Structure 1
């Protein structure tokens, strides 16, 4: 079978190499999945560039966490799956229900876990869930990290209710899913972006108003004034703008902190305490939360935004496309026919 590996110590797309490996066989409690498609997340670039960091093992790594495919074979003792089942990967290890624990790891395709950029993969039977019936497997491949993260941020604590206001930061995969999910939950959605061409795209998805955070360094106060404060923020930017997010919140509002884009700003304690807000770290979500959001996506007919699809042999080009400034939506790599 064919697979892509990220060579040890490599820190650019030149270190991604297509190789041939023996067909793997499932052991007890495992399933073999014929991968139909995978999708990329920003963390793929953290792994790529961080050759000496905690994301990378000492040796070669099959990259990418998110994939969908068809169960091809099952190991001894596996009763919940059979050949032909349509499944999507679960991002984190042994994370069946909330709360998280020290053993969940850093996700497939990182540290001590091989990823899914391959024609066939072996996974524990609890490392997949049924793919949504209403989506193709290419569409389903976009869900395990981005959609589950957005759902956990919106619904795990202080769940969004109809009529509430939600703010998403930027237009990455998590933010786009948060927009679709929040609107389906009955919320009014606002968003930040610094790109004029993306303002209309966000509004086409149902965003009521966009705010340019680059032109307006005090965008948090501007959003509070325009909206009366948002009840929930899905913060994909990181702590570099945390005080602006707090400014944008309604009193008693909630921030789901997702972002790894920026660090370094200390929380203003007077602002934080005065508004009575809550701040939660979002480590993607559990397998249970994945099943929840998949059911919701099917029920509401939600479709992921896919920017571009690449062939399996174009993995390097897919990585490069993900960082292009005009990317709006997920980057998908087709591996085999559905």
Structure 2
């Protein structure tokens, strides 16, 4: 079989190495083998190949966390799964529901744990979830990290309701999912971008108003003047935290999961205190939340935005596209 691996001691796209004669893995007790149909690239994968997670790759490691496919082999002592089941990968080991638990690691495809960018992968039976019936493989391959992170930010703590306003930052995978999920719930959505050509696309997805954070550095105050947001889905990182505080409404929440920047400007804490608002770190989610996301997608007919699909041999091009400024939604690699 073919698989991509990250080579130890190498950074950037050069770390990606294609192996075309690997053995097909066999599932052991409590495991299933998945014939992978598609996988998607997240910003966290850029962090991994650039050695910015605080840990380095010590042995050749299969990258990426998000995959869809079909179970084609089942090991002993597996219950609830059978040959032919269409599944998606589960990001963390041991996180089922509620707040994060200790010892979860960095997720699939990070230092210490093989990921999913291979034609066949073996996972513990609790590291797969049912694939939404309404999606194709490319669409379903976007849910494990980006889709679930947006879901967790919106609904797992202080859930958004139809009478509220949500602000999403940027046009990456998490932000676009947040627009779609919030609109499906009936909430009003505001959005930010730095590219005027993306305004119409955000509007088509349901954003009521779009703010350009390049031409309007005080965009948080502009959002507040437009009515503010009860929930800010901050997929941009610490550099956007100060303006997020200005944008959030009294009693609202800023869900932070962006790793693009650590923070260039401290948030206005007196403003945060005066509003009685909160800042919550968001780290993907548990397997039960992933199942809730899948059910919501099927119930509301949501179609994940896939900007482009790449052939399996073009993984480096997929990584480069995901890191580019033109990204709008998700970049997917197909194995077939």
Superposed pair shares fold, TM > 0.5? yes
Cα distance in 2, alignment partners of residues 95 and 203 from structure 1: 35
Quote the offset at 1:16 in angstroms. Answer: 1.1
Report how many aligned residue pairs link the two structures.
Answer: 334
Gaps of 5+ in 1: none
Give the Cα separation in 2 of the matches to 1:179 and 1:73.
Answer: 37
1:107-146 matched pairs, under 5 angstroms: 107-146=107-146
Counterpart secondary structure, 2:121: strand
CA separation in 2, counterparts of 1:198 and 1:316?
25
Contact 1:55 1:106 in 2 (8 A): no
The offset of 1:54, in angstroms, is 3.1
2:103 is paired with a residue of what secondary structure? helix
1:205 aligned partner: 205
Verify: 1:241 aligned to 2:240, yes or no.
yes
- Match of 2:260, SS state, is coil
Question: What is the distance in 2 between the residues matched to 1:237 and 1:308?
Answer: 22
Matches within 5 A, 1:64-103: 64-103=64-103
State whether structure 2 residue 309 is matched by structure 1 residue 309.
Answer: yes
Match of 1:293 in 2: 293
CA contact (8 A) 2:149 2:284 kept: yes
TM-score (norm 1): 0.97
Deviation of the 1:241 alpha carbon: 2.1
Using the alignment, how far apart are the partners of 1:57 and 1:313 within structure 2?
22
On the 8 A contact 1:180/1:302 being kept in 2, the answer is yes
Q: Give per-residue Cα distances to partners, 1:9-55, cap 9 Å, x unaligned.
A: 1112122111121111111111110000000001111011117x435
Following TM superposition, the consecutive aligned residue runs of length 4 or more in structure 1 with deviations greater than 4 angstroms are: none
Q: Where does residue 184 of structure 2 map in the other structure?
A: 184
TM-score, normalised to structure 2, is 0.97
Deviates more, 1:263-272 or 1:67-76: 263-272
Q: Say if 1:90 and 1:287, in contact at 8 Å, map to a contact too.
A: yes
* Two-structure CA RMSD over aligned residues (Å): 1.1
Taking the aligned partners of 1:276 and 1:220, their CA distance within structure 2 comes to 17
Partner of 1:36: 37
Where structure 2 has 5 or more consecutive residues not aligned to the other structure, the ranges are: none
SS, match of residue 267 in structure 1? coil
Is the counterpart of residue 253 in structure 1 residue 252 in structure 2?
yes
How far apart are the structure 2 equivalents of 1:56 and 1:97?
A: 29
Aligned 8 A contact 2:9 2:57 in 1? no
